[in-house]
Chain A
C-alpha cells in the first residue's frame, strides 16, 4: 500500500472526486477560473474601473466611459488564480487518544491528506505543517498530484510526543507562510481557548482564510465512561481516580464552555470553525463541510 492510498482509500477518493475545495474569500492562485485572484488584472470577469495613469496599456481603456465622461479609465478584471492551501496538523500527544475507532491523529492525518488531494487535483498548491509544543515542521507548497505522495510521507512520519502550545505554534506558522491562502488547522485544540484563538488570529491577520478543524474523540464529546476509572494525562503527569458518570455533567459543561469559547473566538476573528468527531465518517464530514462552504461562497457572490 502506497502512502497515498494509506491515507486516501479508493472509496474516499471516489466520493471526494467530484468535490471541489473552493475558497470563500479571494485568494491568490496559480490557476485561473476557480478562484478569484485579489490581483486585479485584465481577465475575463470585470472587476472595476480606475483612472488611467501613464504607462497603462491603452488597450484596457474603456472608451465607452471616455465617451460619457471625457476622462480615461482603465477596465480592471478579476483574475481566477490557483492558491496555496496550508494544512497545519497538531501532532501533540493528546492527538493519540482513541476510544476504539481511529485516533484523533489518524483522523486528522486522513482529513489532511484528503484535503491535500482535493487541492492538488484542482492544480492548487498544498503545504503541510506539523507541530507540537516543542517543534514545528513545515513542508513548502507543492503542486500536482504527485506532490500528494510527499504530503503522505510527511504525515506518515508524524510521531506525536510532546504537549500542545497552539498559540505559539500557530504564531510561528503565521510568520512562516508568506503567501496568503487557505490555512486549515487540524487539531483537538486542547489548550487555552484564548491562546488558540490568538494563534488563529495571527494566521488570519496574515491575510489567510483560516479554517479550524476541531477533531475530538466521541468519548471526549460524550464522556460515556462508567465504573471506576483512573485517568492518566497523555500530555501531563496528572492522574485521577474517578467515577466518570458522577462528574459527567461537570465534564460536559467544561467541554461545552471550551467549545463555546473556541466558537466565539473564531467567529469574532472571522475564522471558520468545524467540530469533527472521529466517529463521524471522514468523507461525510468533508462532503458536508465542502457543500456548506460552497453554498456560503455562492451566497457571498
Chain B
C-alpha cells in the first residue's frame, strides 16, 4: 500500500488528540465537598470497570476515526493482491511498451536508461492488480512482442522484462503505441492501460506525429495511458552522424577522402574527441578534434593499396552511448572503373555535325568518350582510373553489364530493345550508373526511356528537337559559372564555360522526379539531369558526346566533366548502400540465387541467419520479394555485411548498417509536452525514478484508491461512537431511573 498524499499521514498524530483531551479534561475539574462519600465510593467502585471499558471503547473509536480521517486524506492506494481484493472483479489488462532504441543504452550515472526502464517496468508490474493480463512490447522503429501471448504470469513477465535490452535501432513512437493499442483492442477488461517506458525523444514523436495521432484516435476511449520517462542524468556523449566518401574517384592507389561529422549530443558538453579511421578492422588514422561549436567534421584521407571490398569504420572513444560512436562504410575499391560505351557508330568520322555542316569525317561519341576517359588526361599528366569498353550493338549490352562495368554511356545508341532496357534498369537499380546522351538517333534512343522499365524516369520529359533548332548555349551565368569540376587533381579542375549547342533535347522534370539539374542552359532549361535511380544513378545529357549537337568535346571542361559524371554514376557500384538497423536491405538478385551456401557475413565475423532474416518483420514490411531483388531484414547490429557464396557477378553485394544518429539527440519531450500529445483526461505522466513519488503516483494510477473505504470506515466509526455513546448514556439513565 502506498499513499498519494503521504504528508497527510502526519494527521494521524491527531489520533492522540482524544487521549490528550481525555487526560486534560481530567485535570480540569471542580471540587465539591461532599457529604455522602460512602455512596460515591461504593458507586465508583461498582462502576469503575464498566466506565473504563466504555471510556476505552469510545476513546479508541475517536482515535481511530481521526487516524482514519488522516489515512483517507492521504489517499491510500492498494496494489497487488490487496488491490485485486478491493476491486470489483480485478479485471484489468495492461500493455507495457519498453523503448529499446539505442538511446536507451545511454549510461546516465551508474546505470543505463534501459536499466532504469526495466526497473520502472518491474515497478509497474508490481503495482498492477493481481490477475492483470499483461502484454509486453519491445519497441524501436518496430514493436516486437516480448511475450507470446498476454499473460498474468508475473514471473514470466518479469523474466521478459529482465531480458529486454536496448538495440541499435532508432525509435518510432507510433510503432509501440500502435502495438499496445492493438493488444488491448480485443480486451474486455474494464481497466485497460498502456504503459510507455521510454526516454521520449522529441524526434521519435515529431517525425511520426500524424501516425501517432491517428493511432490514438483509433484507440478505445476507455484505454488509459501512462507515460513514464526514464530518469535523466548526466550523459556526456559524442556521436558520428555521417561518414561520407567525398572523393569522386575511388580506385586503388588513389587518395580517397572521407568526411565524418561528429556532434556533441549529450550533457555535459564534450569539448574534444578522438576520432579514428579503421579500414578492414585496422586502425589507420586518428585525429583529435574540438567540438567547440557542438559539431565538427573530420576529414580522413586514405589510399587503398589493394583492390576489393574495403570495410571502413570511423570510431569515437567510449562515452555514454556506444552505438553512435561507430560509423561504417563498405567500399569496393577497383583497380579501374569499368565504363561501357554503347554507340552505333564508332571511331573517327563516324558522324557529322549538322550545324557545322561538316562531313562524315567527324569522330563519333565513343571516340570522344574513350579519348577523354582513357587518354584525354594524359596531356595533363593525370592518370584516370577508367577502363572504357565499347559495346557494339544494344543486344550485346546485357552481357557487358555482368562484368566489372560500373557505368554505361548510351552515346548515339539508337533504338534499344526491351531486353536491353530491362538489363539497364536492373543494372541501374543494382548500383550501376547510366549516362544517357542525345545523338542523331535521339528519338530512337530516348523514346524507350519514357516506357517501362525506365518509367521511374517518367517525371522527366524528353523532347526530341527538330533539325533546324536554333543554337542555345550553356553560358556563364549565376548557375553555370559555379559549376566547377574538381576531380581531386588540379589538372582536372575546370569551369564548364560556354558551350554552344546546335540541337538540344528538351529536358524537363517534375518536382518529384528525383533528378537535379547538373547543368543548365542560359535560358534556364536543364542541360543535364542527374540523380539516384534505385541503388544506382542516372544522368541525362541534353546534347551528344560528339560534335553532332554541340561543341562540348572541344571544350577544356569536357574531360573533367565527363570523368566527373562517370565517377559519380559509378559510385553506386563502388560504395555499398547504407541501411539502418532492422531496416530491410533489398539485394538486387533473384531469390533463386539465394542457395543454402549463401550467407551474410559481417566485417567482424558476425553472421546473419539468412532464413531468419528473410522471415523478419522488416523483410515482411519491405514486401519480401520485390521485383528488383530480395528483401533481407533483421540486421540488429551495426556494421558492414557482405553477401558470400553467391555468383561472382554478385560478389560485390554488401551493405553498411549504421544507426540513425538522430536517436542520439538529447532533446526529449517534457512532461507537459507528453500530456499534450497523449489523450487528455486519460493520460498520466509520471516523473522520477521507480521509487518514491513516482511509485506513489503509479500506485494511484494502477492501484485501487482505498480512501473511500477508509472514509466509510471513518463514518462507521463515528456512527458507532455516537451510537455507543448514546447507548451507554441511555443505559446509565435507565439504570439511574431504575435506581430511583
- Which residues from chain A sit less than 8 Å from chain B, CB to CB? 93-97, 104, 188, 190, 217, 220, 223, 225, 227-236, 238, 240-243, 245-256, 258
Q: Which chain B positions have C-beta within 8 A of A245? A: 732
User: Is B35 a contact partner of A238 (Cβ separation < 8 A)?
Assistant: no
Closest 5 CB pairs of A and B: A249-B735, A250-B43, A94-B35, A252-B739, A228-B29
Q: Which chain A positions have C-beta within 8 A of B38? A: 190, 254
Question: Which of these, A229, A233, A235, A240, contacts B30 with CB under 8 Å?
Answer: A229
Question: Which of these, B33, B36, B37, B738, contacts A249 with CB under 8 Å?
Answer: B738
User: Is B739 a contact partner of A231 (Cβ separation < 8 A)?
Assistant: no
| Chain B 31-55 residues near chain A, CB threshold 8 A | 31-44, 46-47, 51, 54
User: Is B44 a contact partner of A242 (Cβ separation < 8 A)?
Assistant: yes
A228 to B733, CA, bound (A): 18
Q: Which chain A positions have C-beta within 8 A of B37? A: 231, 233-236, 238, 240
- How many A-B pairs have beta carbons closer than 8 Å: the answer is 115
Q: Which chain A positions have C-beta within 8 A of B26? A: 228, 241
Most chain B CB inside 10 Å of its own CB: which residue of A223, A231, A248:
A231
User: Is B40 a contact partner of A231 (Cβ separation < 8 A)?
Assistant: yes
Identity of the chain B residue whose Cβ is nearest the Cβ of A221 in the assembled complex:
B740
Identity of the chain B residue whose Cβ is nearest the Cβ of A220 in the assembled complex:
B36
Identity of the chain B residue whose Cβ is nearest the Cβ of A253 in the assembled complex:
B739
Tell me whether A230 and B732 are in contact in the complex, defined as CB-CB below 8 angstroms, given that A240-B40, A240-B41, A251-B40 are known contacts. Answer: no
B649 CB to nearest chain A CB (Å)? 109
The yes or no answer to B163 lying at the interface (CB within 8 A) is no
A to B CB contacts below 8 Å, 30 in the list: A94-B36, A97-B33, A188-B35, A188-B36, A190-B35, A220-B36, A223-B736, A229-B31, A230-B30, A230-B31, A238-B37, A240-B41, A242-B44, A243-B51, A245-B732, A246-B51, A246-B54, A247-B44, A247-B46, A247-B47, A247-B51, A249-B47, A249-B732, A249-B734, A249-B735, A250-B42, A251-B739, A252-B739, A252-B740, A255-B36
- Excluding A190-B38, A234-B37, A247-B47, 5 further A-B contacts by CB distance (< 8 Å) are A248-B736, A250-B43, A251-B43, A255-B39, A255-B739
Question: Which of these, B31, B43, B44, contacts A253 with CB under 8 Å?
Answer: B43
Q: Which chain A positions have C-beta within 8 A of B43? A: 247, 250-251, 253-254
A98 CB to nearest chain B CB (Å)? 10
B42 CB to nearest chain A CB (Å)? 5
Q: Which chain A positions have C-beta within 8 A of B33? A: 97, 231-234
The yes or no answer to B89 lying at the interface (CB within 8 A) is no
B731 CB to nearest chain A CB (Å)? 8
- Which residues from chain B sit less than 8 Å from chain A, CB to CB? 25-26, 28-44, 46-47, 51, 54, 732-736, 738-740
A228 to B32, CA, bound (A): 10
A236 to B38, CA, bound (A): 10
Tell me whether A254 and B39 are in contact in the complex, defined as CB-CB below 8 angstroms, given that A246-B47, A246-B51 are known contacts. Answer: yes
A249 to B738, CA, bound (A): 8
Q: Which chain A positions have C-beta within 8 A of B29? A: 227-230, 241
Q: Which chain B positions have C-beta within 8 A of A227? A: 29-30
A220 CB to nearest chain B CB (Å)? 5
A235 to B36, CA, bound (A): 9
A32 CB to nearest chain B CB (Å)? 43
A248 to B41, CA, bound (A): 12
User: Is B732 a contact partner of A248 (Cβ separation < 8 A)?
Assistant: yes
A190 to B41, CA, bound (A): 14
Identity of the chain B residue whose Cβ is nearest the Cβ of A94 in the assembled complex:
B35
Question: Which of these, B28, B34, B47, B51, contacts A231 with CB under 8 Å?
Answer: B34
User: Is B740 a contact partner of A247 (Cβ separation < 8 A)?
Assistant: no
User: Is B34 a contact partner of A97 (Cβ separation < 8 A)?
Assistant: yes
Q: Which chain A positions have C-beta within 8 A of B28? A: 228
Identity of the chain B residue whose Cβ is nearest the Cβ of A191 in the assembled complex:
B38
A220 to B31, CA, bound (A): 15
B173 CB to nearest chain A CB (Å)? 69
Q: Which chain B positions have C-beta within 8 A of A241? A: 26, 29
B690 CB to nearest chain A CB (Å)? 54
Q: Which chain B positions have C-beta within 8 A of A256? A: 739-740
A255 to B740, CA, bound (A): 9
Q: Which chain A positions have C-beta within 8 A of B738? A: 249, 253
User: Is B34 a contact partner of A246 (Cβ separation < 8 A)?
Assistant: no
A223 to B739, CA, bound (A): 12
A203 CB to nearest chain B CB (Å)? 23
Tell me whether A234 and B740 are in contact in the complex, defined as CB-CB below 8 angstroms, given that A247-B47, A254-B43 are known contacts. Answer: no
B365 CB to nearest chain A CB (Å)? 122
Question: Which of these, B32, B36, B732, contacts A246 with CB under 8 Å?
Answer: B732
Identity of the chain A residue whose Cβ is nearest the Cβ of B45 in the assembled complex:
A250
A97 CB to nearest chain B CB (Å)? 4
Q: Which chain A positions have C-beta within 8 A of B30? A: 227-230
Identity of the chain A residue whose Cβ is nearest the Cβ of B37 in the assembled complex:
A233
Q: Which chain B positions have C-beta within 8 A of A235? A: 35, 37
User: Is A104 a contact partner of B42 (Cβ separation < 8 A)?
Assistant: no
User: Is B42 a contact partner of A254 (Cβ separation < 8 A)?
Assistant: yes
Identity of the chain A residue whose Cβ is nearest the Cβ of B25 in the assembled complex:
A228
Q: Which chain A positions have C-beta within 8 A of B39? A: 251, 254-255, 258
User: Is A234 a contact partner of B736 (Cβ separation < 8 A)?
Assistant: no
A6 to B36, CA, bound (A): 28
A236 to B41, CA, bound (A): 12
User: Is B40 a contact partner of A230 (Cβ separation < 8 A)?
Assistant: no
A274 CB to nearest chain B CB (Å)? 18
Q: Which chain A positions have C-beta within 8 A of B733? A: 249
Most chain B CB inside 10 Å of its own CB: which residue of A217, A231, A250, A256:
A250
User: Is B32 a contact partner of A232 (Cβ separation < 8 A)?
Assistant: yes
Q: Which chain B positions have C-beta within 8 A of A238? A: 37, 41
A93 to B36, CA, bound (A): 11
Identity of the chain A residue whose Cβ is nearest the Cβ of B43 in the assembled complex:
A250
A288 CB to nearest chain B CB (Å)? 21
Tell me whether A229 and B32 are in contact in the complex, defined as CB-CB below 8 angstroms, given that A245-B732, A252-B740 are known contacts. Answer: yes
A233 to B32, CA, bound (A): 9
B58 CB to nearest chain A CB (Å)? 11
A230 to B40, CA, bound (A): 11
Q: Which chain B positions have C-beta within 8 A of A230? A: 29-32
A217 to B739, CA, bound (A): 18
A243 to B38, CA, bound (A): 16
B737 CB to nearest chain A CB (Å)? 8
